Amino acid sequence: MTYDENNIFAKILNGDIPCNKVYEDDYVLAFRDIAPQKKTHILVIPKGKYMDLVDFSTNANTDEIVGFYKAIARIAEDEGLNENGFRSIANSGEFGGQEVPHFHMHLLGGEPVGRMVS
């Protein structure tokens, strides 16, 4: 599989489609999910072209990987998610229910998020 340059998150990164931005640095862009599943629902995406968790973990360099997780920690603090806890989810591939083929982490919280798999 190759990276789809026309996926919706690539278009957001290119500035072709707007987003409700929460945070941005050299490594990541974070924005609010268009169809929030919980009171707070943020998507964190690397700026590099990675399809999923395995692609990112295998092919991103150390700075990109560290930058990604440092940004998640900062966003979790800044958005108040870390105070009472939250859930982070990365869906991968068909069985994982991934809809957008650009690696992303969902941060869900602001209220109890329930059981992990229903």
Q: Please check whether residue 110 is in contact with residue 84, taking contact to mean a CB–CB distance below 8 angstroms.
A: no
Report, in Å, the least distance between residue 12 CB and ligand AMP: 6
> Distance between alpha carbon 36 and the CA centroid of its chain, in Å?
13
Binding status of residue 35 toward ligand AMP by CB under 6 A:
yes
How far, in Å, are 20, 42, 65, 112, 113 from residue 28 at the CA level?
Answer: 14, 12, 10, 26, 25
Binders of ligand AMP in range 51-90 (CB under 6 A): none
**Segment near ligand AMP (CB under 6 A); pick from 44-52, 71-79, 96-104, 110-118:** 96-104
Does the footprint of ligand AMP cover residue 4 (CB under 6 A)?
Answer: no
Told to check if 99 binds ligand AMP by CB under 6 A, we report: yes
| 116 interacts with ligand AMP by CB under 6 A | no
Q: Does residue number 100 form part of the binding site for ligand AMP (CB under 6 A)?
A: yes
Q: Indicate if 41 belongs to the active site.
A: no
Residues recognised as catalytic: 104
